[in-house]
Each structure stands twice: as structure tokens, then as C-alpha cells.
Amino acid sequence: MYANPSGHAPWWSWALSGLQLVAGVALCFVPGMQGLGVSLAIGGATGLIMNVLEPQLAQAIGGVGSMANGYGAISTGISLMSLGGWVVVAGLCLTVIGFGTMAFGANEVIDAMTDTNYIQKWTGMSDSAYAWSYLGLNFASSIGQAAGNVYRLHATREIRFNHSGTEIRGYRYRDRKGNPFFDFDYPHKDIPYNHWHGWDGPRLTNRTGDHWSYLRLILWMLGGM
């Protein structure tokens, strides 16, 4: 029981790799989530390939990806709890989900190495219950991170006024350490469209002079700033 002697990848291994690939690509377009997005996308794509070539290795890769996904959820949850108010509850829930995702991921790595699914062995979960729990935790971690990070950015943003202080010019967004992350500007002077500016340099001290589209901002973030 709880072993896979045939060596065939279970259906949830395919589903998880696909979920990680899709979630990774989606997270690449959420400011501040590019690092996790790239790692999940690469892990998901690698998992799909290895499901065909070596199912046990694919299972381990999926497990490692789930552990990274869970860690990201924990980190996001903790950052949300620091905002206070009702968000503390949401942050706590996301943190718990992150720990659950990491536990299932670690279990998958161990299962790939030992052919024993300890969570099923200890809890008596059916294959279906285990599979949906595993996928559900990964899905919740991915969605929670994206939503939580977007909320944090908006909750901590600063209004930027024009020089006379009479009109809102845009907003400044900060990273989790409080450093300037990027600016959003409304049209002004000879720039007739909404645009973004990134921050770079030592300790994020310099704002770029270029006027970026959202895609350009994301590409800049993907490049590691």
C-alpha cells in the first residue's frame, strides 16, 4: 500500500506540474513575484518532461516546487500580518496553507525516494483525497501569494502629488523592506499615457528616467533590476 512499483506517474503529478507551469507564468506578471514565478515555471515544465522520461524524478521535482511554493506563501502571509487589522487573519491562513503545501511537497520527495507515501500511511487518505488536497494546497498558495502581494503593494503605496500639491500625479510602491520599488505616474507634460518608473542602484536609490509600459516594468523585474 501507498507505493508505486509500476513507476507510472500518477495523474496528480501531471496536474501539479501543469499547475506550477501556469501559476509560474502568471506570477511573472505580478510585481515582486518574478523570482518565484520563474522557478515555478521552470519546475513545472521540467516536471512535465520528466513525467514522460522518469516519473519518480518528476515526482521529486514537483515536490521541490511545492516546497518553494509553500515557502513563498509563508513569506507573503507573514508580510500581510505585519499590516495589522483584518489582514492578520488572512495572513495567518495563508501562512498555515504554506506550511501544509511544504509538508505535502516534502512528502512527495520522500515518496519518490522510498516508494512510501507517509501522509497517506499516517492519515489513511485515499488516493483521490490525497491528490485533491495536494493540488488544492498548491493552488491556494499560488493564488494567495499573488493576491496577497498585490494587496500589500496597494496597502503600503504612497500618493505622489504634483509640485503645487493640488493634483495626484501617481503612486510610489515599496518593497517589503520599505525601499522604493517602482512608481506609477499619470500622464504629465509631454507623456500622454500612464507609465511606470523602476528604482535601482545601491539600496534602490535611483529612479529610472525612462517612461515604461507595464510590460517593460515586468521585464525589468525579471532581469533582477
- Judge if 178 and 94 occupy the same domain: no
Q: According to the model, what pLDDT value does residue 81 have?
A: 94
What are the grid coordinates assigned to 125, written together?
487518505
- Judge if 150 and 41 occupy the same domain: yes
- Judge if 19 and 122 occupy the same domain: yes
Integer Cα distance of 197 and 58 in angstroms: 40
What domain count does the chain have? 2
- Judge if 132 and 189 occupy the same domain: no
- Judge if 96 and 207 occupy the same domain: no
Secondary structure (3-state) at 192: coil
| pLDDT tens-place string over residues 36-88 | 777 778 777 777 777 676 777 777 888 888 898 899 899 999 999 999 888 99
- Judge if 137 and 188 occupy the same domain: no
| pLDDT tens-place string over residues 85-105 | 889 999 999 999 999 999 999
- Judge if 101 and 206 occupy the same domain: no
Identify the domain boundary among 155, 176, 191.
155
Task: State CA 72 to chain mean position distance.
Answer: 6
Residue for cell digits 498555515? Answer: 96
Query: Is the whole model's pTM more than 0.85, yes or no?
Result: no
- Judge if 31 and 133 occupy the same domain: yes
Integer Cα distance of 143 and 19 in angstroms: 11
Output Rg (C-alpha) for the chain, integer angstroms: 21
Conformational region of residue 201, where left means phi above 0, alpha means psi within -120 to 50, and beta covers everything else: left
What are the grid coordinates assigned to 155, written together?
496597502
What are the grid coordinates assigned to 89, written together?
487573519
Would you say 19 and 142 are in contact if contact means Cβ atoms under 8 Å apart? yes
What's the pLDDT band for 151 if we cut at 50, 70, 90? Answer: very high
- Judge if 68 and 98 occupy the same domain: yes
Would you say 179 and 204 are in contact if contact means Cβ atoms under 8 Å apart? yes
Give the residue-averaged pLDDT of 8-20. Answer: 72
Q: Looking at the domain assignment, is residue 102 inside a domain?
A: yes
Domain that holds residue 208: 158-222
Residue 191 DSSP code: B
DSSP helix, strand, coil percent of the chain (3-state; round to 5): 60, 10, 25
| pLDDT tens-place string over residues 95-136 | 999 999 999 999 989 998 898 999 999 999 988 898 889 888
Q: Looking at the domain assignment, is residue 6 inside a domain?
A: no
Indicate whether 6 pLDDT > 70: no
Identify the domain boundary among 117, 137, 155.
155
Mean pLDDT for the chain? Answer: 83
Q: Looking at the domain assignment, is residue 3 inside a domain?
A: no
Q: Looking at the domain assignment, is residue 5 inside a domain?
A: no
